[in-house]
Amino acid sequence: MKADFILYANQLLTCSPGGSIRRGQAMSDVGLIEGGAVAVADGKVVAVGTASEIDLQYSSEIKLSYGVIMPSLVDAHTHPVFAGSRVDEYIMKANGATYMEILENGGGILSTVRATRRTGTDELLELALSRLDRMLSHGTSLIEAKSGYGLSVDEELRHLRLLKRLKELHPMEIISTFLGAHAVPEEYKGKREDYVSLVCDEMLPRIASENLADFVDVFCEEGAFSLDETARIIEAAKKFGLPSRIHAEQFNSLGGALMSAKMGAFSCDHLLMLSLSDIEELARLDTVCIFLPGSEFFLNIRDYGPARSAIDKGVPVAIATDFNAGSCLSESLPVAMSIAVLQMQFLPEEAIISATVNAAASLGRADVAGSIEKGRSADFLCIDCDDYRQWLYHFGVNMTAAVFKKGTVVYEASKVRRFIASDN
Ligand code: NIG
Ligand code: FE
């Protein structure tokens, strides 16, 4: 039979079976096929197997070879819609200030809110597009993207509409999350209850009626939103059919992760301060626990949380970037995965399942993304090394050779032009 093209790999990581969350031992099975191949027709995978198996079934004029081929990555927690820079905070942190001190003094999230509100939609769109380009170049082709730097009805709607526009303009697949409860905006200082009402009674109905979000998020933390406020927003969103994913246990152990999980959250994220007793309960639920090691690294926290225990106890775990201006200015999911291996005792295989199958499951997309299987969209990350263990080991360096989305090359590494050695 004819295929549009066939890709060959020294190592093909199928990450199959996809379809549902992986726990414990199952997180180390990346579906390795040595000398593998994948045939593609009409943007879809038509066959996966060893090169000799595929060559028996399919032929094509276009045949390409790579070192490692795996499913393109899924980044399940990003904040790509913002303007301005927080380079001053980066210097303040170098001088010893903490993230929450900066937030309490009107910096942090609120400074990005001020800069973003001042920025026109075209400029904001260009900024976001170049971030998506960088994500793609590091191997990510499906992201979750949050609003949360608007914090007024009009601004939150503007940012969510912008995400909708990005979906039309960019090959990146985007799942949108409404994060109106990211911080209490300056104009609601001292009137936090009114702001929570604005989120529940005005923002959510407008967003739902325009179909602008797939999820709702709340920053559940001391100095941000309390457990009660978080529960109120989760409940309000449920009435509009929006499931939740929650920022929880980032700096304090409030119990927001377990509470939101019991309320049906698809994910709880950050989790640096997650307690062992909560881990045991979370192991009995299907909520994906997303660790964001780039954020701990960026904030110089020097502790990456109990991810190892969570995996060992059977909690479904994922890794994401948390890309944003203040707590992780890096679009590279492989960097976060390398930190997980180097600092958090993830096996490379567990880091890979955390950024493919489990990340997709946290977005309710495990049936379509995160693994290479017959009938699925041809979304591949091709890596410039012959053994997948060499990939994350090569820390902080982009090893992506190419990214395919729906059977089309959407990123290809550019080549360095070396001088030709001459004899004279
Ligand atoms: O996930 N923790 C809250 N929100 C973001 C940071 C946003 C910012 O600092 O601008 C986070 O780390
Ligand atoms: Fe975040």
Question: Does residue 298 have its Cβ closer than 6 Å to ligand 1?
Answer: no
Say yes or no: CB of residue 147 within 6 Å of ligand 1. Answer: no
Please tell me if the CB atom of residue 108 comes closer than 6 angstroms to any atom of ligand 1: yes
Which ligand 1 atom sits nearest the alpha carbon of residue 270? 1
pLDDT in tens, 20-65: 999 999 999 999 999 999 999 999 999 999 999 999 999 999 999 9
- The whole-number average pLDDT for the span 318-328 is 97
Distance of CA 174 from the midpoint of ligand 1 (Å): 19
Alpha-carbon dihedral sign for residues 78, 84, 89, 91: positive
What pLDDT does residue 99 have?
81
Look over the chain and give the mean of its residue pLDDT values, rounded to a whole number.
96
Residue nearest to atom 9 of ligand 1 (CA): 326
Q: Specify the ligand 1 atom closest to the Cα of 219.
A: 3
Parallel/antiparallel/unpaired status of strands 173-181 and 215-218: parallel
Rounded distance between C-alpha atoms, residue 164 and residue 158, angstroms? 10
Q: What is the mean pLDDT of residues 278-289?
A: 98
Cα 415 to ligand 1 centroid, rounded to whole Å: 35
SS3 readout for the chain? CECCEEEEEEEEECCCCCCCCCCHHHHHCCCEEEEEEEEEECCEEEEEEEHHHHHHHCECCCEEEEEEEEECEEEEEECCCCCCCCHHHHHHHHCCCCHHHHHHCCCCHHHHHHHHHCCCHHHHHHHHHHHHHHHHHCCEEEEEEECCCCCCHHHHHHHHHHHHHHHHHCCCEEEEEEEEECCCCHHHCCCHHHHHHHHHHHHHHHHHHCCCCCEEEEEECCCCECHHHHHHHHHHHHHCCCCEEEEECCCCCCCHHHHHHHCCCCEEEECCCCCHHHHHHHCCCCCEEEECHHHHHHCCCCCCCCHHHHHHCCCCEEECCCEECCCECCCCHHHHHHHHHHHCCCCHHHHHHHCCHHHHHHCCCCCCCCCCCCCCECCEEEECCCCCHHHHHCCCCCCEEEEEECCEEEEECCCCCCCCCCCC
Q: Which two tokens stand for residue 137?
A: 């170049």
* pTM for the model: 0.97
Q: Closest ligand 1 atom to the C-alpha of 221?
A: 2
Residue 256 CB less than 6 A away from ligand 1: no
Tell me, in angstroms, the distance from the centre of ligand 1 to residue 294's CA. 12
Under the banding of pLDDT at 50, 70 and 90, the label for residue 424 is: low
Query: Could you tell me the distance, in angstroms and rounded to a whole number, from the CA of residue 80 to the centre of ligand 2?
Result: 10
What is the pLDDT averaged over residues 220-228?
96
**Residue 222 pLDDT exceeds 70:** yes
Q: In the prediction, which pLDDT does 100 show?
A: 81
Q: What is the CA(286)–ligand 1 centre distance, in A?
A: 24
Closest listed ligand to the CA of 77: 2
Q: For the segment 105-157, what is each residue's pLDDT rounded down to a tens digit?
A: 778 899 999 999 999 999 999 999 999 999 999 999 999 999 999 999 999 99
Pairing mode, strands 400-405 and 73-78:
unpaired
- The CA 28 to ligand 1 mean position distance, Å, reads 30
Ligand 2 centre distance from Cα of residue 78 (Å): 6
* pLDDT, position 112: 96
CB of 78 closer than 6 A to ligand 1? Answer: no
Is the shortest distance between the CB of 112 and ligand 1 below 6 Å? yes
Please, which residues bridge with residue 245 across strands?
267
Nearest atom of ligand 1 to the alpha carbon of 328: 12
pLDDT at residue 102 in the model? 84
pLDDT of residue 106: 74
Identify the residue whose C-alpha is closest to ligand 1 atom 5.
Answer: 327
Residue 337 binned pLDDT confidence (cut-offs 50, 70, 90): very high
249 within ligand 1 shell (Cβ under 6 A): no
CB 247 less than 6 A from any atom of ligand 1 = yes
With 80 as the cut, is the pLDDT of residue 422 above it? no
Residue 423: its pLDDT value, please? 61
Question: 7 or 101, which is more confident?
Answer: 7
Check if the beta carbon of residue 246 is closer than 8 Å to that of residue 269.
Answer: yes
% of the chain beyond a pLDDT of 70:
99
| Ligand 1 pocket, residue 139 CB under 6 Å | no
**pLDDT at position 403 over 70:** yes
Region 224-243: what's the mean pLDDT? 98
Instruction: Give the rounded percent of residues in the chain with a pLDDT score beyond 90.
Output: 92
**Contact 250 CB / ligand 1 (< 6 Å):** yes
Look at residue 218 and tell me whether its pLDDT is greater than 80: yes
Say yes or no: CB of residue 324 within 6 Å of ligand 1.
yes
CA of 7 to the centre of ligand 1 (A): 39
| Dist. CA 217 → ligand 2 center (Å) | 9
